[in-house]
Each structure stands twice: as C-alpha cells, then as structure tokens.
Chains A and B, each alone.
Chain A
Amino acid sequence: MEWLNTIIQGTLLGGIYALFAIGLSLSFGIMRLVNIAHGDLIVLSAYVALVVGQGTGLDPISSLIIVVPVMFLVGYALQRGLLNQTLSGGLLPPLLVSFGISIIIQNGLLQGFGAYTHRLQEGAIETASLRFPGGIAVGVYPLLVFGVALLALASLQILFYQTGLGRAFRAVSDDADTAELMGVDNRKLYAVALGIAMIFTAIAGVLFAIRTNFDPAAGPIRLILAFEAVIIGGLGSMWGTLIGGIVLGIAQSVGAALSPTWQILAGHLAFLVILIIRPSGLFPRTRD
C-alpha cells in the first residue's frame, strides 16, 4: 500500500502549493500582474510570525491574528505605492519593479536576520498522524493545511460571486476602463486586491514555515512552486489551481519515493511535460 501513502501525501502536499498559488493567481486575475516578489512575501510572512512569536510568546497559528493584518497592509501599500504605477507601461515595468522588490526583501531579511535557517514551532501537531487500516498513515498537519486550502478557496468563491467587492473585482478584471466609468476607483481596488492576496500569502507563509526550514533566500522556490501549480491547473481557474497543486504534489511525492533528492526535480519535470503537451493547463479559463 506504499503507493497509496505516496498518493495521499502528494495530494495533501497540494494543499500548501495551492495556498502558495492563491496570491499569485489573484493578482494576475485582477490586475494582470505577475508579482515576482510573491515567494519572498511568503517568506516575509514567516519572519513576521517569527518576530511576533518571539515578542508575544504566541504560537505561530495564533500569531496569524497579527501577521495577517500586517501583511494585508504590506500588500495594500506595495500596490498603492509602487505596483499601481507600473500597470500602464507594458511588460517590463511590473516585472522589473516586482523583481526589484524581491531582491530588496531577500537582502533586507538577510541583513536583518542573517543567513540562519529558522522554523516556526507549533508543537505536537506537527508530527501527529492518523492511522488507517492497511498501513496507511495520514499526517494530521498536512490534513489541516489541506483543509485550510479548501476553506481559502471556498471563501474566495464566496467573495467573488456573492459580494459587491467580488463583483467589482470581476468587472475590473474584464474591463478596467469601463469599471472606472461605473464609479469604481481602480487604484484603490487593486490595492485591496493585493491586500487580500497577502492575507492568503500570510497564512501560507506561516503554515509552510511550521513544517519547513526557511531562510532569507527561501522565496524564489516558493514562487516557482506557486507558479507551477497555477500553470498546471490553468490560468484563471481558482479550483484549477488546487488541482494543479495536487498534481505537482503527487509528482513530487512519487519522485521522493524513488529517492528523496529527486522530489523538487520531479515536480519541475512534471511541470515541463505538461507545459509542452498542454500549454494552457488542465482547466484553463482566462479570456485575454
């Protein structure tokens, strides 16, 4: 039954990858902006949680009460202050500005915290597992993370389809100029959008940092994982991103089962294969 364990682990791994991807998906869907600093913002969230934990003694998951609003404000400020000005300049400005932000965050964290690795400690839940007949073992923590991913996607579904704000997001994503003619302040809306993206990024950052060592340079690989989940799933589809994350997770899990050092590479290779065979992803939805 080892292969079943592998599949289950891979599927649950897809949960954290989907959480990584949400922020990226949101900012691309609403603003057509690919934020190269996305991975570094995930890592920044982990460092904020570290500082909050050291200062207040809160455990990481509880510290989200502070980390989430902080990261919302960071996202709002970044979009309002910098990224909004790149939106009408074509391809290069958003890419290069977010690239610059990425390097600044990485090196700022390096200067501030040094190159040491850290991990957030949540306690016993990190290693607890549920046992099922047939030798199947499911980690409680990965199950929790997967559940959070489902909740996150469901809440986004509600936001987009049942609220006025979500309606405005969809309108702006369709036709920003006409939305402005309806009274929508695009600049503010984009800032709110990145702020909301950062809420999920903060959650993803804290959850991943409980299980994985992180250091200032841990951002880029997170960006790549988020990106792979989005592309495999198909641009423009939130639930597709979950499927993309699961496919990525399973590919990595299978690779790891062959040899632990193969895990990340297996994910990359699966991504490239899908890119070559089915470039628009498994469930593409974006109108361009």
Chain B
Amino acid sequence: MTLLQTQNLSAFYGDFQALFDVSVGVEEGETVAIIGANGAGKTTFLRAVVGALETGPDMVLFEGQPIGHHTAHDIVRLGIAMAPEGRRLFPSLSVEENLLLGGYSKRPGPWNLKRVYELFPRLHELRRLPATDLSGGQQQMTTVGRALMSNPRLLLCDELSLGLAPVVIRDIYECLGKITAEGTTVVLVEQDINRALDASARFYCFQEGKLALTAPTKGFDRAAISAAYFGI
C-alpha cells in the first residue's frame, strides 16, 4: 500500500518558498531515492514530512491519514523516523544513551538495543563513549541506529554519505540493505547520485524546490538525470 503520499506539498521558511507543489508517493517496503543539487529542497522535503516544518494539513498523508499539522514528536509515534543531516547526535550523551533516546517513544517492533548492536557491532565496544568522540562513519551508524530504535515503518535518511570515506559509505549502505530486508520503507536523500540510485528502486529528482524528474532507477539513462539535476 502507499505508505507516504505528499499532495502538492508547498513549504515556506518565513516568506521564502522552498517547495513548490511537490507530489511524491512511496509504497510500503520500497526504497526511494531523492536526489538534487544543494538547495534543491531535499532536506526541506524530509523536514516537512517528519513534522519539523509546518505544512497544510492534507499535504502529507501517512498510511492514508493527513499528518501535515502534526508535531514532530507525534509523527515519530506514528512510525516515521529520521536520521538527520549532519548526524545531530547529542554531545552530552554516550553512544548507548543516544540509542536509548531514540527509543523514547517506546514503539513496539523488531528493533531494540541488542539488535542495533548486532547490526553495528563496533558500536557495542564504543557504547560508553561520548557520541561525538566517534569517527564520522561510527557517528553515522549511531544516527541510523538511533532512528531504528523507534521501530519506524518509514525511515528517512538525510545525506548518509556526507563527509565519509568511500569504504565507510560502502559499509553503511550494506547495513541499509539489512534494514530494508526487514521490510522497513526507506527514503534516501543523497548527493552521491550513484550510491542513491544503486540502493533504490525509484528516484525523484528535485530542482529549485520543484520535482524535475521521477522514474524507476533500473536501466534509466544517467544523462537524462544530469539534465534534470542541473535544470538544463
């Protein structure tokens, strides 16, 4: 079924319009990629979905229900979680405490501390350290683990690969594969186009706040993507 649907989603930062009539649909179990240049509106889109940005009530539908006016903390309880851009771990908390905080909403499901450590074994060794003492890749794993702790039906990943070495990115995307194998629906925002397209079944390309292109990723012509990406 359609897990997430946005209908003519427009969003503003004060007087500045960041999104123009964006309509995106995500089926349950899919992995969908959102690509686009800096400032194209990808993060704004995720923030609008997760409730960090106010939108019209019917502009975002989750499991068919309008959530546009819900607060972010309510939306987490409904089953959407985010691994934010820049990781945003809590510096005063240890790795384990960050993960535990992810479970604040106490949603039932397959993910718990033990299973997150099984997915990211390295984190178990580092669990007592302040989260910000970790390397970039380990912090990214903590961020994803923290989001998983709320047992989301829909996981939004914002720029997983930002600032990370290729080897590390590869490891993270492998773990992502294990997450989707559990049936979690994933929306992936990425600047690294190839990674994003390799991991997803469909993609949306944003350009200056508008939807420029959408198609299944398999076999799609990369040149056409570049054209949409840069607005040529």
Q: Which residues of A contact B (CB under 8 A)?
A: 164, 167-168, 170-171, 173-175, 177-186, 287
At the interface, is chain A mostly helix, strand, loop or mixed? Answer: helix
B90 near A180 with CB under 8 A, answer no
Q: What's the Cα separation between A24 and B138 when bound, in Å? A: 37
* A164 B104 Cβ-Cβ under 8 A: yes
Does B150 belong to the interface (CB within 8 Å)?
A: yes
Beyond A181-B50, A181-B82, A183-B73, is A167–B150 a contact (Cβ under 8 Å)?
Answer: no
Chain A residue at minimal CB-CB distance from B156: A181
How far does the Cβ of A188 sit from chain B's closest Cβ, in whole Å? Answer: 9
Contacts A167-B101, A182-B76 supplied; 6 other A-B pairs, CB < 8 Å: A167-B97, A171-B101, A173-B92, A174-B92, A174-B93, A181-B52
Nearest CB in chain B: distance from A32 CB, A: 14
B90 contacts A171, C-beta separation under 8 Å: yes
Kindly list chain B residues whose C-beta atoms are within 8 Å of the C-beta of A179: 90, 101
Separation of A168 and B71 alpha carbons in the complex (Å) = 18
Query: Judging by beta carbons under 8 Å apart, are A178 and B84 in contact?
Result: yes
User: In the bound complex, what is the Cα–Cα distance between A139 and B81 (angstroms)?
Assistant: 57
**Contacts A/B (CB < 8 Å), 30 sampled:** A167-B93, A167-B100, A167-B101, A170-B90, A170-B93, A170-B97, A171-B92, A174-B92, A174-B93, A175-B88, A175-B90, A178-B84, A180-B52, A180-B73, A181-B72, A181-B76, A181-B82, A181-B84, A181-B88, A182-B101, A182-B104, A182-B146, A182-B150, A183-B76, A183-B104, A183-B105, A184-B73, A184-B101, A185-B73, A287-B91
Which residues of chain B from 60 to 82 have a CB within 8 Å of any chain A CB?
71-73, 76-77, 81-82
The residues of B that contact A287 with a CB separation of less than 8 Å are 91
Residue-wise interface mask of B (193-223) relative to A, using a CB-CB cutoff of 8 A (1 in contact, 0 not): 0000000000000000000000000000000
Enumerate chain A residues within 8 angstroms of B82, measured Cβ to Cβ: 181
Does A178 contact B91, Cβ atoms closer than 8 Å?
no
B145 in contact (CB, < 8 A) = no
Report the Cα distance A179→B73, complex, angstroms.
Answer: 9
Interface size class of B (residues with CB under 8 A): 20 to 34
- Measured between alpha carbons, how far is A178 from B73 in the docked complex, in Å? 10
Q: Give Cα distance in the complex from A275 to B137, angstroms.
A: 42
Contact between chains at A174 and B52 (CB < 8 Å) = no
Question: Would you call B36 an interface residue if the criterion is a C-beta within 8 Å of the partner chain's C-beta atoms?
Answer: no
In the assembled complex, which residues on chain A have CB atoms less than 8 Å from the CB atom of B104? 164, 168, 182-184
Q: A180 with B100: in contact, given A171-B93, A174-B92, A174-B93 (CB under 8 Å)?
A: no
Assembled-state Cα–Cα distance A130/B24 (Å): 76
The minimal Cβ–Cβ distance linking A270 to chain B, given in whole angstroms, is: 31
Q: Mark B130-141, 1 if CB is under 8 A from A, else 0.
A: 000000000000
CB-defined contacts of B73 to chain A, threshold 8 Å: 180, 182-186
A177 proximity list for chain B (CB < 8 A) = 52
> A186 to chain B: which residues have CB within 8 Å?
73
Cβ B77 vs Cβ A183 within 8 A = yes
